[in-house]
Amino acid sequence: MEAITEFYPLLSTPKNVVITMHQKPDGDALGSTLGLSRFLCKLGFKTTVISPTNWANFLNWLPGCKDVIDYETNLSLSEKLVSEADYLFCLDFNVFSRTKNLAGLLEKSKAVKILIDHHEEPQKAAFQYGISNTHKSSTAEMVYDFIADAGYAALIDLDIATCLYTGIMTDTGSFRFPSTKASVHQVITHFKQLGLQHTAIHERIYDSFRETRLRFLGNALLNRMEVLYQYNAAIMVVPRSDLIHFNTQTGDTEGLVNYMLALDGIKFAAIVIDREENARKWSFRSKGKFDVNKFARAHFNGGGHKNAAGGLSTEPLDEAVKQFKTVLKAYESELSEPYEY
């Protein structure tokens, strides 16, 4: 994989572009792809954003979101667009398996593939150009860097800023995670100078719950959370019956795992959701030095960042929880160490 800087000269020759992201895209995935798409359009590129799956309704307001193609409901069109693409930008994922059923189509594509991502252990051989920087707060911040470093910062308008701000804000936990370096605030300063109204964005993301989502959250905290003080850890186990009872939609479980880190002394939080017939989905979060990326890769077929990762279990829900508690014992001494900021 050649450095992303080697791609900069190619920006002067507009071509057909497809931009894609990981399945069940979050604010960073959608924000970064939409921001990049609007930038490339300004340079004369013909761009299409394809999502492997649907996404949360609270992201539908993003500029350009109405034009995003859901691969699962537009198979033929997606295949045609990918086959005609000269460039394929892959954002907020670094292995094709993270794009679910879209993976095979992307792997077979003859388009030049460009990676922009901040997760660990990228599939570098699959991309012709790219950048992988685990120290960056978000892929949206990296898209900003891509635009600015290529010499086009002046083309960033309010719509692009809105998309990228959404990605940065959501992936930094509203700027409280350790990844919020000075560079992040410098980017936000630029956006504010363009006239960005940050309060409206926060309200659209965090103050637009349906009643059933709020009741689902309350039930999860009251009835599905177990605090394991001997390990400074907590786990939330969400059965499929809850998803059905509360009529959950894509995005309703997003951020749920973070509530457990609000408990005094808890350094490691995990949530397992019985979402699919053949797999249970895990999300892991931590504070301080405990590395959930390594934990997820070692035990739950997953990965991500040091303090935020995901995984899968193919065992039934009760067996998956039993495995987690068994594995957790090996980390008792590490989790009992004094917390360091």
**Tens digit of pLDDT for each residue in 230-241?**
999 999 999 999
Q: Residues with Cβ < 8 Å from 83, sequence gap 6 or more? A: 109
- What is the CATH topology of the domain spanning 2-206? inorganic pyrophosphatase (n-terminal core) (3.90.1640)
Residue 321 has pLDDT above 90, yes or no: yes
Closest CA to 27 of 150, 118, 147, 162: 162
Q: What is the pLDDT of residue 208?
A: 87
Q: What is the pLDDT of residue 339?
A: 63
Q: Which two tokens stand for residue 7?
A: 């791609």
The amino acid that residue 179 corresponds to is: S
Q: Which two tokens stand for residue 144?
A: 């900003």
Q: What percent of the chain has pLDDT over 90?
A: 88
Q: Which two tokens stand for residue 285?
A: 């979060």
| CA-based R_g, the chain, Å | 20
Q: What are the sequence ranges of the domains in the chain?
A: 2-206, 211-335
69, 77 contact by CB (below 8 A): yes
Q: What is the pLDDT of residue 119?
A: 92
Q: Residues with Cβ < 8 Å from 29, sequence gap 6 or more? A: 21, 22, 51, 91, 92, 93, 139, 167
How far lies 164's CA from each of 7, 36, 43, 290, in Å?
21, 9, 18, 29
Quickly list DSSP for 118-172.
-SSS--GGG-SEEEE-TTSS-HHHHHHHHHHHTT-GGG--HHHHHHHHHHHHHHT
26, 133 contact by CB (below 8 A): no
As a whole number of angstroms, the distance between CA 82 and CA 75 comes to 11
**Tens digit of pLDDT for each residue in 27-55?**
999 999 999 999 999 999 999 999 999 99
Residue 341 has pLDDT above 60, yes or no: no
Q: What is the pLDDT of residue 251?
A: 86
The mean predicted confidence, pLDDT, of the chain is 94
How far lies 302's CA from each of 15, 46, 60, in Å?
35, 34, 28
**What CATH number labels 211-335?**
3.10.310.30
**DSSP structure class, residue 317:** H
Q: What is the pLDDT of residue 250?
A: 87
Q: Which residue has 């635009």 as its token pair?
A: 147
| Residue 71 φ/ψ, nearest 5 degrees | -55, -40
Residue 277 has pLDDT above 80, yes or no: no
Who wins on pLDDT, 178 or 79? Answer: 79
Closest CA to 88 of 15, 24, 147: 15
Helix (H, G, I), strand (E, B) or coil at 69: strand
As a whole number of angstroms, the distance between CA 288 and CA 340 comes to 6
Query: Both ends of the chain: CA-CA distance in Å?
Result: 35
Q: What percent of the chain has pLDDT over 70?
A: 99
**Tens digit of pLDDT for each residue in 90-148?**
999 999 999 999 999 999 999 999 999 999 889 999 999 999 999 999 999 999 999 99
How far lies 47's CA from each of 10, 66, 87, 133, 249, in Å?
15, 14, 9, 25, 28
What mean pLDDT is predicted for residues 151-175? 97
Helix (H, G, I), strand (E, B) or coil at 87: strand
Alpha carbon of residue 246 to chain centroid: 24
pTM of the model: 0.89
**DSSP structure class, residue 178:** T
**Tens digit of pLDDT for each residue in 233-273?**
999 999 999 999 999 988 899 889 999 999 999 999 999 99
Q: What is the pLDDT of residue 305?
A: 87
